[in-house]
Amino acid sequence: MIRVTILNPERKVFEIENVKTIFDIMRVLGLNPDAYIAFIDGKPVPEDKEIEDNINVDLMQVFSGG
C-alpha cells in the first residue's frame, strides 16, 4: 500500500495498491503528470521512478503565471 498526499490546492490523502511508478499513481488518481511534482522523503522524483509498498509520496501541483 502506498500513501499519497496531494498537498495543494487542498490537502487530500489516498492509499493506493498495485502501482509500480509515480506515473501509475497519477494515472490511478486521474491527474495530469505535467501538473504535479512528486516527492519522496522531501526530495523530488521523476514520474518513471519505481516505488515500493509502504512508502509515502507527496504530490504538489505546479502553478505558473505570466
54 pLDDT more than 80? yes
The percent of residues above 90 in pLDDT, for the chain, comes to: 88
pLDDT band of residue 56 (cuts 50, 70, 90) is very high
22 forms bridges with which residues in the sheet?
none
**Average pLDDT, whole number, for the chain?**
93
Domain that residue 17 falls in: 2-61
How many other C-beta atoms can be found within 10 angstroms of the C-beta atom of residue 4?
Answer: 22
Q: Residue 24 falls within a domain, yes or no?
A: yes
pLDDT category, 66, cuts 50, 70, 90? low
Is residue 66 one of the residues assigned to a domain? no
For residue 27, what pLDDT is reported? 96
Phi and psi (nearest 5°) for 61? -70, 140
CATH number at 39 reads 3.10.20.30
Whole-number Å distance between alpha carbons of 34 and 18: 22
Q: How far apart are CA 56 and CA 62, in angstroms?
A: 19
Q: How far is CA 43 from the centre of its chain?
A: 12
